[in-house]
Amino acid sequence: MSTPIPPSTLPTTLGSLRASGYESRSVREEIRRNLESRLAEGIPLTSSVLGFEDTVLPQLETALLAGHDIILLGERGQAKSRIIRSLVELLDEWLPIVAGSDVRDDPFSPISAFAIDLVRARGDKTPVSWVHRSRRFAEKLASPDTSMADLIGEVDPIKVAGGLYLDDPKALSYGLVPKSNRGIFAINELPDLSERIQVGLLNVLEERDVQIRGHLVRLELDVMVVATANPEDYTNRGRLITPLKDRFGSQIRTHYPFEVTTEIAIMHQEAKLPTSPVPIAVPWFIDDIVARVSHVARRSHVISQSSGVSVRLSIANYETVVANALRRTLRTHDDMVVPRVSDLSAMVQSTQGKIEFDTMDDTDTDQVIAALVSLAIRQCFSEHVLLEEAPEIVEAFNAEVIVHTGDDLPDGDYLVVLAAMPALEIPVERVAGPGASDGEKAAAVEFILEGLYLTKRLAKDASGARALYRSRNR
């Protein structure tokens, strides 16, 4: 996305900037003032992160009002990066800098040798340019090979070759931290930095300056630092040095959604569903089951909880289930794409790469994932479906009825089942809702039959996405 063009009414020289009455504010004061305005108007800190309204966001607002550097602790997929990026909206839309400055020098108080010399030489005629808030955010993924040159800076050999002396401040090439001056610098997975580099950040967080190797250069930076870390790396392995932890003013713990309904809302917000020539309708119980699989996995003893079960798992599974239903619909030429329980078997491919198993062979992973899905279906069925007609349905199966299901069968096959089993009609209407389409009725039939099987009232012979439901008495 391109950066907006500054309005033509903004001052373009130091003199006109001064005449406009503009007053410089530190980045912390800028964020604090804008946040105060939002809170007074009842505007949330961010509307793109769900499930943190009563936990993380109040703590974050307090930390910002206090002017703290912040570290967010949480397992993967807990929206830590999104929270950090949302802070950009708390910056002023436009910021004046000395034109051509690498470190966004304040025209009223420059810190780099380039800007100091320019202001001294040109005075009120010093050119001023304007930076949009979207460019006042820098993000770095920490890694063991991250160097001081990446973060702080280094002597630029090209500038030296051009005639500058090694000890000339203008021979320096600044790293990400100085270039983030008067903005926000975010560093993800902070403990992955080597201890030597962590030491190099101490001055940035405490004295607010940087020193580059043996140069007598000291830049008084105005930068807010926000970092993320996995709690296991942060506390158990001791990979974040104690002095650096002490420099952060606030430590905020993120979490996964507490409620299945919140996970569903995130799925709907983030999922990118495939385009379809026919309408897509996802039944409420498919939403619930897909979201519930992640909740079940987060409590499973066979899944590594230290690695976490990302919300991205729910999003990817949701997209996969809908895509599998679309694949079927394109072949059967049904009128609507409606995912069914049999489509949930496709989640194996989108789940395997997103969870880590504790001491388990790869050959067992499919079975574990299938067990997670079955548990999620059973919980959904038990919590939301009151099946008074269950004895009649079971009795119909006792009378030699057998039902075939599968992710390749057209909707019409399920309507035949409904016609042959009157006991299913009322439960299907209750689950699918009044005025349900043929596809929604077909999905409801599968859900009810699977629920009866998982609550031990029917028997089932399964092979992949295909299943045969029958009486338990045969």
- The domain ranges of the chain are 14-253, 260-470
Report d(CA 84, CA 139) in Å as an integer.
9
- Give me the DSSP letters along 328-366: HHHHHT-SSB---GGGGGGHHHHHGGG--BSS--GGGHH
Rounded to two decimals, what is the model's pTM? 0.88
- Give me the DSSP letters along 73-110: E--TTSSHHHHHHHGGGGS-SEEEEETT-TT--BTTB-
Say what the pLDDT of residue 167 is: 60
CA torsion 302→303→305→306, rounded to 10°? 100
CB-based contact 245:231 (threshold 8 Å): no
Residue 158: exposure state from Cβ atoms within 10 A (0-12, 13-18, ≥19): exposed
Say what the pLDDT of residue 360 is: 58
Say what the pLDDT of residue 40 is: 96
Architecture label for domain 14-253 = 3-Layer(aba) Sandwich (3.40)
- Give me the DSSP letters along 2-55: PPPPPPTTS--BHHHHHHTT-----HHHHHHHHHHHHHHHT--S-SS--S-TTT
Residues 6 or more apart whose CB falls under 8 angstroms from that of 442 comprise 338, 340, 411, 413, 414, 415
Condensed to tens digits (0 to 9), the pLDDT of residues 42-73 reads: 999 988 899 999 999 999 999 999 999 999 99
CB-based contact 141:219 (threshold 8 Å): no
CB-based contact 94:131 (threshold 8 Å): yes
pLDDT level of residue 253 (50, 70, 90 thresholds): very high
Q: Tell me which residue has tokens 């910002």.
A: 64
Closest CA to 31 of 180, 177, 140, 133: 133
Say what the pLDDT of residue 108 is: 96
Say what the pLDDT of residue 151 is: 87
Condensed to tens digits (0 to 9), the pLDDT of residues 149-178 reads: 888 877 777 776 777 665 666 667 788 988
Closest CA to 231 of 185, 198, 186, 189: 189
Say what the pLDDT of residue 53 is: 93
Lowest mean pLDDT among 7-16, 160-169, 314-323, 361-370: 160-169
Say what the pLDDT of residue 237 is: 46
Condensed to tens digits (0 to 9), the pLDDT of residues 189-239 reads: 998 888 888 888 888 887 777 666 656 567 788 999 999 998 876 554 447
CA torsion 31→35→37→42, rounded to 10°? 160
* Token couple for 202: 């101490």
Say what the pLDDT of residue 362 is: 57
Mean pLDDT of 131-147: 92
